[in-house]
Amino acid sequence: MKLSKEIRAFQTRLGHDFADPALLIRALTHPSVSSPNRQDNQRLEFLGDRVLGLVMATALLEYDRKASEGQLAPRFNALVRKEACADVARQIDIGAVLKLGRSEMLSGGRRKQALLGDAMEAVIAAIYKDAGFEAAQEVILRLWGDRIGTVEEDARDPKTALQEYVQARRQPPPDYVLVARSGPDHEPVFTIAVRLQDGTEEQATAGSKRLAEQAAAKALLTKLEQAT
């Protein structure tokens, strides 16, 4: 299979030349452009998530041999969650070579976090199927780089951390309220407020409700911790 100049350049950024280039093409094919004769990347995404998980679990155990399961679990989650995968995907510009349907292209699909994260997982699976676990492991460790060593000691997501904070003080769970929604349908912007029973609140704005909730929770948790 002859690859385009853009795909060959992507292989260089990725650091793996495929013996079976069809695997890479499939990994970069979003469901919006699939057909009976063209497989999309969803099954590879499923496999890549598991390969990534094994590599990260192994790396964390090797990096910190004294850490407890309770310390390792949130670090692991921080390294394999969709945001982390999308961040690495941006680093090697997967968006530039994604194969998308017209609707996804018009809606800014090449910048969407979910699409980028899914594609990164699919590419990992493609490397695994093309050259085996060690090849996939080498690429993952190189691309994730010092993220493994610098992942926060307490890497719980902010919503979980805030929930635990209020529970420890026997307070009701925080409420998340949609304050505003703006922007076009294909690229919305959400403002979310998180409020405690005593009226303490913080707001945050992001391109998805989930990210806005996380940012608001982090801001409120910071405020609460600084007040103590």
Determine the Cα–Cα distance for residues 92 and 87; give it in Å rounded to an integer: 9
Q: What are the DSSP calls for 38-69, one per residue?
A: B--SHHHHHHHHHHHHHHHHHHHHHH-TT--H
Q: CA angle, 84 as apex, 79 and 86 as ends, to 5°?
A: 150
Q: Determine which one of 40, 45, 49, 157 is catalytic.
A: 49
Element (H, E) at 222: helix 209-227
Query: How many distinct helices (H) and strands (E) make up the chain?
Result: 11, 3
Q: How far is CA 26 from the centre of its chain?
A: 20
Phi first, then psi, for residue 77 (nearest 5°) are -60, -40
Catalytic status, residue 49: yes
187 given a catalytic annotation = no
From 121, 130, 202, 213, the catalytic residue? 121
The catalytic residue positions are 49, 121
